[in-house]
Structure 1
Amino acid sequence: MHSLSERVEQLRLNDCPDWLYLLHEFDALYRQGSDGGSRPIRTHRKRVRDSLALIVEANPAVNDRPPEVKPVTAHLGRALDLGERGAVQGMSRALARVAGRLTWEYGYEKVPKALARKYAYCEILGPRGPICAERLILGFVLFAPSTTYPQHSHKDIEESYISVAGAWSENDAAVHAPGSLILNRPGLEHRITTGDLIPCLLAYAWTGSEERLNQPGMKLSSPRKARIEKGI
Structure 2
Amino acid sequence: MRLSTQPDWQYLVRDFYELYQTGSAGGSSKIRSHLAEVRRLLGKVFEDDPTIVEEEAVALPVCDHLSRALSNATGHRTAKLARSLDAVRDHLRWQYGYEKVPKGLTQKYGFTEIMGPRGPIFSDRIILGFVLFGPKTTYPAHSHKGITESYYCVSGNVSENDVGVYAPGSLIFNQAGHSHRITTPDREPSLLAWAWVGTAETLVNNKMTFAKT
TM-score between both structures, scaled by the size of structure 2: 0.99
Are residue 182 (structure 1) and residue 172 (structure 2) matched? yes
After superposing on structure 2, the runs of 4+ consecutive aligned residues of structure 1 that deviate more than 6 Å are none
Match of 2:40 among 26, 33, 50: 50
Match of 1:204 among 186, 194, 197: 194
Equivalent pair of 1:122/1:141 in contact (CA under 8 Å): yes
Matched with 2:111 is: 121
Are residue 168 (structure 1) and residue 158 (structure 2) matched? yes
**In the alignment, residue 99 of structure 1 is paired with which amino acid?**
R
Matched with 2:83 is: 93
Are residue 152 (structure 1) and residue 113 (structure 2) matched? no
The structure with more radius of gyration? 1
SS of 1:84's partner is coil
1:57 offset after TM fit, Å? Answer: 1.1
TM-score between both structures, scaled by the size of structure 1: 0.91
Equivalent pair of 1:84/1:93 in contact (CA under 8 Å): no
Alignment of 1:1-232 (within 5 A): 11-223=1-213
1:65 offset after TM fit, Å? Answer: 1.6
Gaps of at least 5 residues in structure 2 are none
Provide the identity percentage.
50
- Alpha-carbon distance between aligned partners in 2 of 1:188 and 1:100, rounded to the nearest angstrom: 33
1:112 offset after TM fit, Å? Answer: 0.8
Gaps of at least 5 residues in structure 1 are 1-10, 224-232
| Cα root mean square deviation, aligned | 0.6
1:193 offset after TM fit, Å? Answer: 0.1
1:118 offset after TM fit, Å? Answer: 0.6
SS of 1:105's partner is coil
- Alpha-carbon distance between aligned partners in 2 of 1:85 and 1:196, rounded to the nearest angstrom: 21
